[in-house]
Structure 1
Amino acid sequence: MIDQIELFSIGFAAVIHTVLLLVVLERVNRPLTAIWLKWALTGATMWYVASFFHVLLRQTEGRTAAWLDVLCMTAMCGGLLLLNCGILHAGLRLHHTGVTPHPNRDRRYLAVYVPVLFLLAIGAGIAQSPSRDFVAATRNYQLPYVLWMMTANLTAAWLFIRNRSRTPGDGTVQRFLLQFAISLVVVTIMVCIYLGANVGATTERWLGLTTSLSPLIPTLIFAWYVFRRRLLPMVFERTLAYGAILLGVFYLHRLTISPLMEQINDRTQFDFVVVEGILLVALVLAYDPLRNRVREGLRYLVSGSVSEVRDATRTVSIALTQNANEQPDEIAQRFVADVQQALRLNFAWLRLSSPFELNCNSAEEDVLPAESLAHIDLQGIKTDQWVDRSRCVDPVLTSVLRDLDLISIFPVDHHHVRGHLFLGLPRSADRLTDEQLNAVKLLVDQFAATVHNRQLETARQSAERHAVQQEKLSMLGLLSGSLAHELRNPLSSIRTIATLLKEDFPGESDQAGEVDLIVSEIDRLTETTQGLLDFARSKSAGNDRVCPDVVIERLMKILSHFAGQHDVVVTCDLSLNGTTTAVAATSLNDVLFNLIKNAIEAVRG
């Protein structure tokens, strides 16, 4: 019973410390945490993870299991040393520089981590020990470690308590430092009691388990303090998920693998750890989702540029949004250059076939001539997928991609924007990950949408400019018509006066000729203004309802002076009594004006 409780408790503590370490090392939290905190959590994580595997392996037979157990116990020692070094580093930093997460570097603090250098000697001693028990295998190093642990923990606790007043805030940090210092003292006392007490085997097991879990006390205090800073909910979510996986693997191992392993070891003296390793590798290789996860995880672990690629991809997306007002060719050229830089490719080439022909190449020379693309069935590439050389099942297409030094082809298809994006080989001679390929696909879709929206915006602006121009022309026509209308009446009066003036001069005199010139110019100007008025006059879809009596009365008032000059008396006998007729008012006005004027002139003659 105690074995299962020990394995479960240490495994759960390992999960908590692992998740806390991952949270601290996340990009968003990295600038907010000091280096000593990272080292202290690394040490605690090493202690619990190695302890968990030590509990699993200490009863396992075989040489491989024995060597793995030695490595686990060595890692346990390294975790304890690193944990105490990190705590002492924290106390000294708080005493000298306060609570600043990243103060100026001081190499003198490296002296705090000198005990870690003895790890190789400790590991050699553990390897030479015949015991598989951690306490027995490290008995020769317990006294120096206890002295070092007491010095580090008690000094750090004293420094935490002494420097509480230097911390700003409402007292939360002061209470945290006090609680953390007390927990360090409690852990130190528990370790001393466990190593110095002489009790029975069962009591020693329980006391050893309690002592092993004692570093969890300051960790939980730290986690509670972080919870007040709204960081722990994310920790709880991951801890529950990882803890459930750990419990499932633990009970599956205990119920199925452990009995089978004991039987095989008893009958064949075969090291079953090797079989477990082979089965685990076979499971990873056989199950595609698990294989992809392991591959991506190893890639992120080995490659240091994954976070840089993510940031660069985010930068490309932001650049597309910020430069959406540029011309489509400028957007395309910038996009190709940004993709090449983000993915660290030898080249990137964009070819658009609709709604306009466009070729953008990040390289100085034409790396993909048109005749080379004739060997690729671009129409056969689905619009929602892409072609990746490392995953292509078509040997002919794979050969063509290899000859053209292409790693991937992405279709561009958004409304009327169609084409393809060709990506050259990465400079690191590595293939693109699934995350990178999906990111490029999203960027391609965003680029196509940006170009499409830019075209719509250009069409809208053109329509607005055309509408404004039409409105200006319409306004100019209205102004011209108004001006022509205002000029026509004065011109008519001037012509009438000039005609009357001509009668005062002899027909062959120079004055009569000058008056005729004035009349002809007035007629020409009247014709011009009439043309402007006709041009500006809106075309009516039908005739207006006009009363002829009203038009005649208005014209008689206008021409009465003209009739008086000719000694002509004009009388009206209007009998329509308000009857209207369907006719254009302007046309009727012109016709009646000419009739009355001609009648006056005829009577005079």
Structure 2
Amino acid sequence: MTLLEALQLIGYSLGAMLPLWMGYLLFKQRLGVVTIQKLLLGLGICMVGWHAGNLVITLRSLLGMEAARWDLLLRSANTIAVISITVCYSLLLHVHIHLWASSQSRELTRIERIRIYLSYIPCLFLVLVVPRIWTGSYHPMIAKLSDFVLPFALWIIYSLAVVSITELLVAQRASSISEKRILRTLAFSFIAIAVLILASLGLGLGQGTIAGQYLQTFANLGSLLPSALLAYYIYRYRYLELIIKESLIVATFAAVVLAVYVYGIRRIGDWANARYGLRAGVVEAILILALTLLAAPLRGWLERKFRALFERETALYRDVVAGISAQAGQYRQLPELLAAIETQTANALSLGRVRIFVRSDEEANAATQIGDSDLLNILEAAETDHIRVIDDEALRRLDYNIAYVLSREDRNSGLLLIEAPPNALTPDVRAVLEVLAGQIAIAIEDCRLVEENVRLERKVAEGERLAALGQMAATVAHEVKNPLSAIKSIAQVMSEDEQLKAQHARDLNLIVGETDRLSKSVTQLLSFASRQPPAAMPCRSDELITNVIDLFRAEAAERQIDLRSSLEARIELDGVQTGAVRAALSNLVLNALQATPVGGRVIVSCVTQDHSIVFAVSDTGPGISPAVQAKIWEPFFTTRQRGTGLGLAIVRKRMEEAGGAARIVSQNGGGARFELRLAVSEARR
């Protein structure tokens, strides 16, 4: 057996068995239900036909079979080979038209459908080619169909050129680096095969020589590349990877053993017999025994190589999970961590979109993004049904294919939402995403614990700072309050003297007014420094607002401002809550009256939301800029020339002491709205 014959035997055998085995697996698992999968299955069948036909012809030559005796078999093999290779390149174009449309996530256009029909025009020539194979005496396929060789070679070159360009264009749109590399490799491989076919069949280089026979054999074996394309799709979409991997190991191992036997054992036996007169059979037996001993290590080496080739994506999955676990401590804020996980997961697993929806107290009360309320409902339904993977119509209406519940120790913190083509969500990818969901849940809880610790540390530090400020304020207030009282008393006594009043009335009135203003500032300082929240008699929320408005109605009328109320809730408040809300509303209404221009409006309202009551003070003033909003709650921060900067600090402090919260809702130039929120029990509603 010559090297050329061995190359043909091994190449055509692999070319026939590999696509046959893959096609069998596809058919057995009923994967050929999508258009592109059916086309790939057909492509594999054509490859089996082409290589099987060439294998039969090669075996006839190797076994020395007479052409006349095996005429029917040889003509049948030529017919199957010609039909298979003709349909093969039409199917190859068909597959790549679908591949291009799929890369853009769209259906086929009308022009693309016309191109598909046109790609099958060469099949019409089979009507002329097949009868010629069966007429006259038997001759090899190339000799029998010599008139059609050049046109068909040009058709193959055109097809491979189109396929290569399509592969390169799809590679540019691919998001995965490994996918880009594979597509580009296939494209250049198709170009190389086109050059071989042009040199062998188109230009007839080396015709009639040994080099020409090798060139033609390589050109024929070049059609193994569609089998490589089929293997790529099976690998890319993770269909039956382990079975295919084992089949490749077995096939490659068999090819290596056959090559070693033919060109190693046989040649060494013949050489030993000719040179030293040793019996060739004994030498071959000894070498076969040695090959048997080396078979296990050789198969292990091949298995490791194929594992490195076909399991690199599995290693990538492990890297993704490990990377996310390691990154959890690198981000200070939870949104930063979630954004990094979303980006890395989408890129690493070639997914269209990844979003992590985290449930928080605010999101439970009111959805902050469009569709968040629907996601919250989906999460609650999953909790009720005790499911971890969600794949239903409600999720698809939100443009997601699948979702995984982020759960840790029976606590569900959110959803891992995935949008991707169905083929991308293979069993391996789903398994990795399920593991990833658990890691993300752990990372979220850890990040929240870190944030909570930081918040508590800041709160303790802020408390210590405020305590120091309060102590200082109390000291200053006590030192100033008594002298102020004395000054005011002296000024009032002097004003009772008619002679002094006539001469210094304006000055005395100024002294009394300024001492009153300073006394109010001192009162604010003492209120801020007080560690005991002021208590009052229990009161209903509507009565409390009415009392506060009555207190400021005269000042509002003096400023020509419309002061009104909107009472939608009547909740009984306890003494601490009443005292805190009265002090907070008084500060807020006073600030609103001072900020609202003549003819403006100030509205004090109260409503119930879920299990809370919300008091609000809204005005039509200039509003508060975003830059100032971040500082207005700080003690001693003020935008007025004669203000203490304690009003809003006291508001927040009193509300927190009562178990509530204060916040601002403002648009610059559109007025300001301050809200006071208190939790209330069902019994008091």
TM-score, with structure 1 as normaliser: 0.37
Instruction: State which structure, 1 or 2, has the greater radius of gyration over its C-alpha atoms.
Output: 1
Q: Normalising by structure 2, report the TM-score.
A: 0.33
